[in-house]
Amino acid sequence: MYEPKIVAIFCNWCTYTAADLAGTARMEYAPNARIIRVMCSGRIDPQFVLNAFQKGADGVLLGGCHPGDCHYQEGNYKALRRYHLLQRLLEQMGIEKERLRIEWISASEGDKVKKVIDEMTEEIRRLGPLEIAETPAEQKPAVAAS
């Protein structure tokens, strides 16, 4: 069976802690997400998302504190706005909207981490692998533009 690769970028204060909780509570969920911790969902540069797709992710999951709960006040709203603009960009680039998802998950919602990752894994399994145009080896820039 095809196993999708999901890059999950989680806020340290909530979603990451929730994933930790899911782990210590021994909840079983799809092993397809590789979790990266950031200090706040507002730290998620859209370049991280595109970079994940470019490097072979089939889906990217963003997790932050519930609206009003961000430890830096506004970070999750920023993340939400970037997410919406990114979705519009991805649509034009022929990347299905199910491949990028944003969720608010508080530190106590370990079960939600399980639910969201399971769901997203299934959705992406249905879509199949994402194939980003590779620049063949001979076309790789020998000297990067600085």
Partner 1 sequence: MGKPKVAFYWCAGCGGCEEAVVDLAENILDVVEAVDIVFWPVALDFKKEDVENMEEGEIDVSFINGAVRLSEQEEMAKLLRAKSKLVIAFGSCSHLGGIPGLGNLWNKDTIFQRAYHEVPSLEKDNGVHPETKIKVKEGTLELPEFYHTVRTLNQVIETDYYLPGCPPTPKLLLNAVQAILKGELPPKGSVLAPDKALCDECGRNETKPEKLLLQDIKRPHEIHIDPEKCLLAQGVICMGPATRSGCEALCVNGNMPCTGCFGPTSRVLDQGAKALSAIASIIDYNEEEDIEQIMDKIVDPVGLFYRYSLPASMLKRRNLANTTKSS
Partner in contact with 13, chosen from partner 1, ligand FES, none, beta carbon below 5 to 8 Å by kind: ligand FES
- DSSP symbols for 66-94: PTT--TTSSHHHHHHHHHHHHHHHHHHTT
Between 30 and 130, name the residue whose CB sits nearer to partner 1.
Answer: 130
Binder to ligand FES among 13, 29, 53, 83 (CB under 6 A)?
13
What is the SS3 assignment for 37? strand
Partner in contact with 25, chosen from ligand FES, partner 1, none, beta carbon below 5 to 8 Å by kind: none
Q: Does 90 bind ligand FES (CB under 6 A)?
A: no
Q: How far is CA 27 from CA 51, 74, 111, in A?
A: 30, 31, 8
Could you tell me the smallest distance in angstroms from the CB atom of residue 113 to ligand FES? 14
Binder to ligand FES among 37, 71, 115, 125 (CB under 6 A)?
71
